[in-house]
Structure 1
Amino acid sequence: MRSPLRVALVQEAAGLDPAANRARLAELVPAGADLVVLPEAFARDFGEAGSDVSTYAEPVDGPFAAEVARVAAERGTTVVAGMFEAGPDPARPYNTLVARGAAEAAYRKVHLYDSFGYRESERLAAGEVEPVVVEVAGTRVGLMTCYDLRFPELARLLVDHGAEVIVVPAAWVAGERKVDHWRTLVRARAIENTVFVLACGQPGPRYSGHSMVVDPLGDVLAEAGEGADVLRAELVPEVLEQARRTNPSLANRRL
């Protein structure tokens, strides 16, 4: 019998100084969790809409990822956090998640935020459609980022590659309907795929906050408000197994 996966979601704002953000990792990453999730772009915030972030891009073995790895090792955990990664086009880096610690991976955001008046694709490059699933303490964890949440086919692809948990770091811009969309989509991805979803956003006022832990039947196990917060939960494997017996939609699908 597998043990529950102990998770922590750190809803904290990223600043514009990469060195300061790196320095905060040691104080923000809590002990006692198997998996710690920080928001999208935590290495350095996007800045004003349309800003050029290429000068803040790093390799995935650069200073930010190295500090994530160091802190993860110190805490005995796996940490997922967002950064801008240098790519083939120096002017358009990737929006990348790094996982470091007991599991190691990098996921480049597939769907860029060309929506609600923003044009992320003018400043960033999209990653290839390659599902990234890692094993953390015996649990299969899939990675996606922010706007990816609006594309159910990506979540289904992760589940088809074995994900039992989907992690969604985000910088979900605040605005009319945005919290409602966020909460609806996080729960929908959990329900339709019978998986746990860990959605960790940057806080208000610029972003929407409301980080969430949702179980495979859509029950909200923990939810933050608008401000800085840390959520903790235990993901029990038997809950997922029971959910898939109760709602065998993955087995029943025909497409």
Structure 2
Amino acid sequence: MHIALAQIVSTPDPWHNLRLVEERAAEAAAAGARLVVFPEATMCCFGSDLAAAAEPLDGRWAGAVRRIAADAGVTVVAGMFTPADDGRVRNTLLATGNGVEAAYDKIHLYDAFGFAESESVEAGREPVMFEVDGFTVGLTTCYDIRFPGLFQALAEHGATLIVTAASWGSGPRKREQWDLLIRARALDSTSFVAACGQGDPTTVGLPPGTLPTGIGASAVVGPLGQLLHQLDGRPGVLLADLNLPEADAARASVAVLANRKW
């Protein structure tokens, strides 16, 4: 499968960000991509009024992403925010295009490093997968990368490619953790991992400390933990050809899914 990771720096304006989605999806499609992955919070950056921006999956913003995917002839994965019943929002990944229509609500909320995402976000409950060209793709979001059980559950249900959309906060050792975690999750699920993060806002002229504090470093990792491709901190499109049956070979060779006890 030919895929693209579209590393962008979102703004507080959903309609400005939608233009980025349109431009990058068209660029990826012209290069032959079948799946185009955008970061968490593509709709609007963290630090914005998420409740005000949130729209249902049948709202205008999601509808526009569907149109973009249809026009480009690709499947698009993009982070957005949808309303929850209690005044909070859900941190949602929309997957749409080429017969795909799926949505994943982030399960593991970022109640860590002195921040409580659960105060404003309602957690999802179920893993979500979809198919592109006959291959099963699993969805995960940012902090999910610290929880191998979710990745193993997706692999156990047939996913050979697992997407991680992130807005990975900068800080001491955070880049080291990102690089380690994306490779570890690929290795302990024997899956390809395509991890697309928000770019570093300083690379587009924003001052240090600007939200979202993305680091970039979007990457594709093979099922034996090998780093295949990686971007730096700047916005850009990473293109990769993945031989997804290699995941089956990895599972036959390193049978961690079959051998695990818990």
TM-score (norm 1): 0.93
Q: Which residue of 1 aligns with 2:23?
A: 27
The alpha-carbon deviation at position 142 of structure 1 amounts to 0.4
Q: Distance in 2 between matches of 1:160 and 1:176?
A: 34
| Deviating more after overlay: 173-182 vs 116-125 | 116-125
Assess if the C-alpha contact under 8 Å between 1:52 and 1:123 holds in 2: no
Structure 2: which 5+ runs fail to align?
202-212
Q: Distance in 2 between matches of 1:209 and 1:37?
A: 14
Q: Which residue of 1 aligns with 2:73?
A: 76
Structure 1: which 5+ runs fail to align?
none
Aligned pairs (5 A) from 1:1-255: 5-29=1-25, 30-31=28-29, 32-47=32-47, 52-89=49-86, 91-102=87-98, 103-128=100-125, 130-205=126-201, 206-255=213-262
Q: Distance in 1 between matches of 2:235 and 2:19?
A: 17
**Percent of aligned pairs sharing the same letter:** 49
Assess if the C-alpha contact under 8 Å between 1:140 and 1:162 holds in 2: yes
| Deviating more after overlay: 172-181 vs 117-126 | 117-126
The alpha-carbon deviation at position 237 of structure 1 amounts to 2.7
Give the secondary-structure state (helix, strand or coil) at the position aligned to 1:9: strand
| Deviating more after overlay: 130-139 vs 51-60 | 51-60
Task: Give runs of ≥4 in structure 1 deviating > 3 Å.
Answer: none
Give the secondary-structure state (helix, strand or coil) at the position aligned to 2:112: coil
| Deviating more after overlay: 136-145 vs 59-68 | 59-68
The alpha-carbon deviation at position 152 of structure 1 amounts to 1.0
Assess if the C-alpha contact under 8 Å between 2:8 and 2:20 holds in 1: no
Assess if the C-alpha contact under 8 Å between 2:7 and 2:237 holds in 1: yes
Q: What is the RMSD of the two structures over their aligned residues, measured on CA atoms?
A: 1.2
The alpha-carbon deviation at position 242 of structure 1 amounts to 2.2
Letter in 2 for 1:247: V
The alpha-carbon deviation at position 241 of structure 1 amounts to 2.5
Assess if the C-alpha contact under 8 Å between 2:138 and 2:161 holds in 1: yes
Give the secondary-structure state (helix, strand or coil) at the position aligned to 2:237: strand
Q: Distance in 2 between matches of 1:157 and 1:207?
A: 27
The alpha-carbon deviation at position 248 of structure 1 amounts to 1.8
Assess if the C-alpha contact under 8 Å between 1:95 and 1:109 holds in 2: yes
Assess if the C-alpha contact under 8 Å between 2:42 and 2:80 holds in 1: yes
Q: Which residue of 1 aligns with 2:207?
A: none
Letter in 1 for 2:7: Q
1:207-255 deviation digits (Å, cap 9, x = unpaired): 1110010010111111011111211111103322322222122222233
Q: Distance in 1 between matches of 2:20 and 2:224?
A: 35
TM-score (norm 2): 0.91
Q: Number of residues paired by the alignment?
A: 246
The alpha-carbon deviation at position 52 of structure 1 amounts to 4.1
Q: Distance in 2 between matches of 1:22 and 1:239?
A: 34
The alpha-carbon deviation at position 154 of structure 1 amounts to 1.1
